[in-house]
Structure 1
Amino acid sequence: MGQMIVQVVLVAVMVVLVGVAGATPPGIAKNPSHATCKIKKYKHCYNLEHVCPKFCPDGCTVECASCKPICVGDCDRPGAVCQDPRFIGGDGTTFYFHGKKDTNFCLVSDPNLHINAHFIGRRSQNMKRDFTWVQSIAILFNNNHTLFIGAQKTAAWDDSNDRVDLSFDGQPITLPQSEGATWTSQTSPSVTVSRAEDSATNSVVLEVEGKLKVSAKVVPITEEDSRIHSYGVTEEDCFAHLDLGFKFLDLSREVSGVLGQTYKENYVSRLDIGAKMAVMGGSGSEFESSSLFSTDCSVSRFVGDSNNIGEKSSFEGLSCQSGIDGQGVVCRR
C-alpha cells in the first residue's frame, strides 16, 4: 500500500513538472497552430481564436489592435528590439522605450562591447511624445572595430528592393542579393554577415565571433499600421526601420544600457509590470549618446580591448550614415 502511494505521488510530481516545463509564454497559444488575444480592452478581438498562417513554423500570437495573427519570431524572444520600439529584456519582461526622434541611445554597454541605436520618428498632434523606431545601430568592440547596419530612407515600399546599409570599420559591405549569401572579415575576432535563408533582401544576420549574434530586418510602416496606431505616416516616407533580435555570448556583470541592464543577474525592473503597456519612463537621458559611434552615455561601461585600455579610442569623431538618396554608407571623422 505504501509503495502504491509513493508511485502515485511520483506520477503527480512528474505531471506538475511537465506542465511547468511546457508552460506557454504569455500571448502564445498552447496549440501552436492557434492563438487568441488575451487583452480585455480590445473587446472586438478578446478571446477570439485565430488559426496561425501556414508559414509560421514556430506558431503565432495575435496583435490585438488589428486582431490579426502574426508569426512568433525573433521579435517575440528575449533580446528583441522591434516596432516602436518594443523590447523584450534578458529577464523576459516586455516593455517599451520611446526615447526621442533624431537621437542616439545606448542599448548595450559592457567593458568590451557597446551598441548604440539611432531613433527616427514623428510627432503626432495628439501626443506629448514622439513615435519612434530604430533606424540604425552601431556595434563597437575591441577598441578599434565598428559594425554598422541601417535602414535606407524610402517612400514607397517594395520588398524586392534591398534597403539595407552595412559597413565594417567604415568600409561598405557589399552583400549579393541571394539567400544565404555571406561576407566574412579577415579580422580577429571574425565578423560574419549573411542573408537570411528565406530572403534575398532586407533581412540579414550579423555575428561577431564569441560576442554576439544579431538578426536584423528592414521593415516599413504600412498604411494599415499607420491607420491603426495613428502614426500619421505620409506617402513621402514609410519610415523604414530595423526589427532586431540580439543573442549575447559573453556579457559581464557590469553590463548596462536600455536592453543590456536586463541581463544583469541582480537586475530589478523599475517597470509597472501590471500595466498593459509597460513603458520605461523618463526622457531616457541617462542612455543618450552624442552620436551613433560615441560611448559617452552616462551608463557607459565600455573601455575596449583590455590590451589597449588607456589608449585613445579609434571611434572618437567617427560618424556613419546613409549616403546620397539613401544609397550606400558614408563614414566621416
Structure 2
Amino acid sequence: MARAAVVLGVAIALLFCSIHGARAWSASCSDPFFKACYGVVHKCPAGCPKACQVDCKFCKPICACDKPGAVCQDPRFIGGDGIMFYFHGKKDKDFCLVSDRDLHINAHFIGKNRAGSTRDFTWVQALGIMFGSHKLYVGAKRASIWDDSVDHISIALDESPVLVPAGQGSAVEFPSAGDLKISRIALANAIAVERPGSFRAVVRVVPITAEESRVHRYDITADDCFAHLEVNFKFGDLSRDVHGVLGQTYAAGFRSRVKIGVAMPVMGGEKRFAVSSLFNSDCEVSRFQESAAQLGAGEDVIEMKSKAGMALPSMECHSGDGSRGMVCRR
C-alpha cells in the first residue's frame, strides 16, 4: 500500500511539472517522493570528462559541460537558453563573456594556429571578474607535464594574491567584497567562487591531453600542455539588457543566431566582444557600471534561476567508491 502511494505521488508530481514547467518542478523536486534521488551512487556518463553533476530534474548525472552556463573545451558554451555554440575569438586576446550593470566577466584566450587553418584553436586561460569596485582574477598556471596533484590555479582579489588553504572544503571569505567566498571542491585544480545573489562559478583547471591533441590535431608539444579553465556559471539577478558572449543568452527576448543542427555552431562577433585588457569593460556591448550604488532604483530584473530552470534544491556531490561515481546529499 505504501509503495503504491509513492508511485502515485511521483506520477502526480511528474504530471504537475509537465503542465506547469520549470518553476513548478522546483517545488516538486524537493518533494519527499524524490528522496530516492539522494544518498545513492550516481555513475557519470561513459563519455564524460572528470566533472559531472546530478541534474535534479531528471535525477541523473550529466557532464558538467552540458549544463547552462558552461564554458569548456575549444570554447564551447551552453547558453542560458540551453543552446550550445562555439566562440573561438583569438589567441592572446581578451573577450567579454558577461556584461551587466554590476557584474562584468572577461576571459583571456590562449591558443595555437596550425599552418593552413583559417582560425586559432583557443581555450580560456583566465577570468577577470569585476563587481562594484572589486576585481577578481582566476587563472590557470602554465604547465608542461600535467600532474593532477599539483595545484595550477592562480587567484587574486584587487591585485592581492589569494591563498585558499589546502584540503577539499577549505574556504576563504571576504565580507568587504560583497561576502565573496572562494572554496576548494577538490584537493587541487577545482574551486567554487560565489558572491551571494550575484554569481557562482565552479572553475576547474584541465590540460590538453595527448589523445585530445591527436584527435583534433592541436599539435600540442611537450613544453606546454595548454592548461586552461573549464567553468560552470550560475547567476542571480541579471538585468533584462545583460550582454556578452554568454550573458546575451540570458537577456529578455534573446534569440540565438547560430545554426542549429550543424556539427560546430559558431557564434561570431569577435569585434563586438573584444576588450583591451582582462580588467577593462570597453567592449562594444558593455553594460557595466563601476559601482552598484550608481544604479537607479526600480529597474526591472530577471531572476535567472526561474528563467533557466535552475531553481533546484542544493546538492553536495562527492566521489563515491573511487570510480566514476558520486554520492549526493541535500
Partner of 1:232: 219
Q: Which amino acid aligns with 1:189?
A: G
Shift of residue 305, structure 1, vs aligned partner:
2.1
Per-residue deviation, residues 154-182 of structure 1 (Å, max 9, x unmatched) = 10000110000001111100112211110
The separation in 2 between residues aligned to 1:70 and 1:162, in whole angstroms, is: 17
Q: Which amino acid aligns with 2:228?
A: H
* Unaligned ranges ≥5, structure 1: 1-12, 22-54, 310-333
Partner of 1:154: 143
The separation in 1 between residues aligned to 2:134 and 2:244, in whole angstroms, is: 20
Judging changes above 3 Å, is the alpha-carbon distance between structure 1 residues 139 and 19 closer, same or farther for their aligned structure 2 residues? closer
* Unaligned ranges ≥5, structure 2: 1-10, 20-39, 53-61, 296-330
Does 2:47 match 1:57? no
Q: Which amino acid aligns with 1:243?
A: E
Q: Is the CA contact (8 Å cut-off) linking 1:105 and 1:116 kept in structure 2?
A: yes
The separation in 2 between residues aligned to 1:141 and 1:194, in whole angstroms, is: 19
**Structure of greater relative contact order (alpha carbons < 8 Å, 6+ residues apart):** 2
Count of aligned pairs: 257
Per-residue deviation, residues 82-141 of structure 1 (Å, max 9, x unmatched) = 001100000000000000000000000001100000000000113110000000001101
Question: Larger % of helix: which?
Answer: 2
Judging changes above 3 Å, is the alpha-carbon distance between structure 1 residues 162 and 299 closer, same or farther for their aligned structure 2 residues? same
Partner of 1:181: 170
Judging changes above 3 Å, is the alpha-carbon distance between structure 1 residues 69 and 297 closer, same or farther for their aligned structure 2 residues? closer
**TM-score (norm. length: structure 2):** 0.73
Superposed counterparts of 1:16-95, under 5 Å: 17=15, 57=42, 59-60=44-45, 62=47, 71=52, 72-95=62-85
Q: CA RMSD in A?
A: 2.5
Q: Which amino acid aligns with 1:304?
A: E
Partner of 2:187: 200
The separation in 2 between residues aligned to 1:145 and 1:69, in whole angstroms, is: 32
Does 2:97 match 1:107? yes
**Helix, strand or coil at the partner of 2:285:** coil
Q: Which amino acid aligns with 1:83?
A: Q
Q: Which amino acid aligns with 2:245?
A: V
Partner of 1:37: none
Partner of 1:314: none
Partner of 2:56: none
Which protein has the larger Cα radius of gyration, Structure 1 or Structure 2? 1
Judging changes above 3 Å, is the alpha-carbon distance between structure 1 residues 165 and 56 closer, same or farther for their aligned structure 2 residues? farther
Superposed counterparts of 1:1-333, under 5 Å: 17=15, 57=42, 59-60=44-45, 62=47, 71=52, 72-142=62-132, 144-196=133-185, 199-282=186-269, 284-308=270-294
Q: Is the CA contact (8 Å cut-off) linking 1:60 and 1:70 kept in structure 2?
A: no
Judging changes above 3 Å, is the alpha-carbon distance between structure 1 residues 226 and 189 closer, same or farther for their aligned structure 2 residues? same
Percent identity over the alignment is 47
Q: Is the CA contact (8 Å cut-off) linking 2:241 and 2:252 kept in structure 1?
A: no
Q: Is the CA contact (8 Å cut-off) linking 1:150 and 1:165 kept in structure 2?
A: yes
